[in-house]
Structure 1
Amino acid sequence: MLNTKMIGNKIAEARKKTNISQAQLSERLYISPQAVGKWERGESMPDITTFNRLAEILGVDLNYFSEHIQTQATEPTSPDPLIKQSDELLFKKPEKRPSWDMSLGNWVDADFSGLKNLHEKFSSSNMQRCKFIGSNLSGLLLRTNNVDSCDFSNSDISRSQIQTSNLANNIFRNCLLKETGFSKSHIKDCDFSGSNLTGADFKKSNYVESCDFSESDITHCHIQGSSLANSIFKNCSLKETEVSGSHVNGCDFTDADFTGVGFKSGAFVNNTIANAVWNRSSFIGMQIDDVHFEGTLEDCYFENCTFKRVTFQNSRLVNTFFKNNSLFKSRGFKGLQFTDCQADRITYEFLKSGKADVIGIKLLAS
């Protein structure tokens, strides 16, 4: 059992050596000066998370607080090498750590930066303005959490699960989120720029709104039954990502790479796709409204889609098929319009047989 009086004395001793007051220490730990006073009098003891932060502030190792290990100032030296070797072996033994669980908690303005192996320890918690910068959170489970204005920059959150949670105004910049799953969650105004989301899943009614994924790697992802609205995907790689049963609306995909991306049974509406790369991309059973395609589309596929106010301008269409599509016309707007485009023979004939207006298309030289 830990000796609270002994630990209190060690806290006081280390604090005085670092020339900081109880008030200054409490401010850095986000607690009251009275709590520090109780520790030093042996009336209470910090929890395991606070011990980590306390050791960092006081410049000591966690072992410093153990009653079985003497402090550096009082540690005796022994000329006997056998005794020294025995001490070293003892020191290398794995220390027993108390089990701790911070789920169902209310965490505000706490600094958990650098923590490891959290797993389920924050489930069902409310977290506001907390810091997890540079932490190893791989395998983390957040279930029914409210996470607001927290900073996870440069953290490893790979192979984690975010379920039925609300994430708002958070920073996930330059994070590793490989194979992380998001389900039934509302994600709003979050910054994922520069992050690696390779193999991530957005499934089961996620709502992603006004988020920034600029320059992120979103390859081999699965986006199913979700809504992506008013978000930024500039200069992203979405290679081989599958988007099914999802509504993508008002997003900016400037300079994005859609190589091998498959859109199926959803909507792609009012998105900006300037300078995007389209290669082996497919749209099947999609509603496509208010979209302006440009550049080269090669080996692409549009089948059973509904087009409304869709334009292809200065586009080069190669081996790109349009099959069984509906060209919606209303109030003088053409469902699908081509301006200053070029197409190979097979693409041209597919469009012509589908009753598209091909006046704005010239045949590519064979």
Structure 2
Amino acid sequence: MMLNSKTIGNKIAQARKEINLSQAELAQQVSISPQAVGKWERGESLPDISTLNRLAEILGVDLNYFSDNFQNKEVVTTFMEKNDPQTVEIQTNPRRKNDWDWDMSQGNWSDADFSGLKNVKEKFSSSNIKNCKFMNSDLSGLILGKNNIELCDFSGSDIRNSKIQSSNLLNNQFNKCSFIDAELFKSNIEKCNFSEANFAGAEILESNFESSTVNDVVWRFTKFKKANISNITFTGTFEDCHFEHCSFYKVKFENATILNTFFKYNDRFKKVEFINCTVDSITYAFLKNNQANLKSVNLLE
């Protein structure tokens, strides 16, 4: 399923003609210009997700209608004779009576604007998503499995209580996102920007966490377990965090305050750099037991 401007344009034109609406009449109901509708139908531009929802309502179609794999067919079983069933396919109108129960899983999505999206849950699972916008979206409770997400912008989105499993996150923007109580499991997280994100209560388990920006991130009750952490510079405050059975490569803690934080059974920890860091006594004990270089670590009185 590849959703692009040409696909959507053709579908808008088809559904509009079926209910005998002109481009001007459709434009009036959507509160845009007729020229904008023309650009959609020619595949020159793409409606954002909120406009697609409005179009689905006006045109009397399910939101899935705009995707390539929407099957506008219905299977009907008829009985020509007793005990002689015959299954046939008939063409049906794309209108559906349900409450827009859309599902975008198992698809390929590119260059689409889903900003402001809500109530996603599992509806994007097992999808390839590239160069899409999800800014300021309510993605709380999001469940992703076997996703490939690349060059997307999630800035300002609420991703709390999410479960991201066996997925690849590459070159994405997660600025000011909430990952409170999220779980990232067996995933590859690489070259992403998490500046000012909140990872309170989050768990990063059996995942690669690599070459990402983590400026001014909230780390509180955050757990890293069996994670491969590389090319990361951690700053700011760590409080009640947990690093266990992790592997470190080119990792720095710089100008960081680390409090009541647990370090245990970590690999290659001797090479982790601590630059101008302040720790409490319990954290200092864990670092020393992990054979960390403590030359630039200050102990709180």
So what's the TM-score if we normalise by structure 1?
A: 0.61
Q: Separation in 2 of the partners of 1:232 and 1:58? A: 35
User: Structure 1 residues 138, 258: CA separation in 2 closer, same or farther (over 3 Å shift)?
Assistant: farther
- AA matched with 1:348: Y
Q: CA deviation at 1:121?
A: 4.0
Aligned: 1:276 with 2:244: no
SS at match of 1:290: strand
User: Structure 1 residues 47, 360: CA separation in 2 closer, same or farther (over 3 Å shift)?
Assistant: closer
Q: CA deviation at 1:178?
A: 3.8
- AA matched with 1:125: N
Matched residue, 2:36: none
- Aligned with residue 111 of structure 2, among 169, 174, 177: 169
User: Structure 1 residues 120, 349: CA separation in 2 closer, same or farther (over 3 Å shift)?
Assistant: same
Matched residue, 1:354: 290
For 1:150-229, list aligned pairs within 5 A: 162-163=105-106, 165-203=107-145, 205-229=146-170
SS at match of 1:182: coil
- AA matched with 2:294: V
Q: Deviations over 1:50-85 (max 9, x none)?
A: 417449718999xxxxxxxxxxxxxxxxxxxxxxxx
Matched residue, 2:69: 125
Relative contact order higher in (CA < 8 Å, ≥ 6 apart)? 2
Residue pair 1:122, 1:141 contacting (<8 A) in 2 also: no
User: Structure 1 residues 224, 323: CA separation in 2 closer, same or farther (over 3 Å shift)?
Assistant: same
Q: Deviations over 1:170-195 (max 9, x none)?
A: 10111214424322211000011111
User: Structure 1 residues 264, 318: CA separation in 2 closer, same or farther (over 3 Å shift)?
Assistant: same
User: Structure 1 residues 59, 358: CA separation in 2 closer, same or farther (over 3 Å shift)?
Assistant: closer
Q: Separation in 2 of the partners of 1:222 and 1:30? A: 34
SS at match of 1:232: coil
Q: Separation in 2 of the partners of 1:308 and 1:302? A: 14
- AA matched with 2:62: L
- AA matched with 1:303: E
Q: CA deviation at 1:358?
A: 1.4
Q: CA deviation at 1:220?
A: 0.7
Please tell me the root mean square deviation across aligned C-alpha atoms, in Å: 2.9
Q: Separation in 2 of the partners of 1:50 and 1:261? A: 49
SS at match of 2:284: helix
Matched residue, 2:86: none
Residue pair 1:177, 1:195 contacting (<8 A) in 2 also: no
Q: Separation in 2 of the partners of 1:343 and 1:249? A: 28
For 1:325-340, list aligned pairs within 5 A: 325-327=266-268, 335-340=271-276
Residue pair 1:123, 1:141 contacting (<8 A) in 2 also: no
Matched residue, 1:288: 229
The structure with the largest strand share of the pair is 2
User: Structure 1 residues 57, 178: CA separation in 2 closer, same or farther (over 3 Å shift)?
Assistant: same
Matched positions, count: 243
Gaps of 5+ in 2: 1-10, 30-40, 71-97
Matched residue, 2:199: 258
Matched residue, 2:92: none
SS at match of 1:346: helix
For 1:299-318, list aligned pairs within 5 A: 299-318=240-259
Aligned: 1:242 with 2:172: no
Q: Separation in 1 of the partners of 2:28 and 2:130? A: 40
User: Structure 1 residues 53, 319: CA separation in 2 closer, same or farther (over 3 Å shift)?
Assistant: farther
Q: Deviations over 1:220-246 (max 9, x none)?
A: 111000010000001111111100000
- AA matched with 1:198: S
Residue pair 1:195, 1:213 contacting (<8 A) in 2 also: yes
Q: Deviations over 1:93-113 (max 9, x none)?
A: xxxxxxxxxxxxxx8648755
Q: Separation in 1 of the partners of 2:100 and 2:227? A: 35
For 1:35-50, list aligned pairs within 5 A: 50=18
User: Structure 1 residues 300, 48: CA separation in 2 closer, same or farther (over 3 Å shift)?
Assistant: same
Which structure's CA Rg is the greater one?
1
Q: Deviations over 1:111-134 (max 9, x none)?
A: 7551236165456438xxxxxxxx
Matched residue, 1:37: none
SS at match of 2:19: helix
Q: Separation in 2 of the partners of 1:211 and 1:277? A: 22
SS at match of 1:359: coil
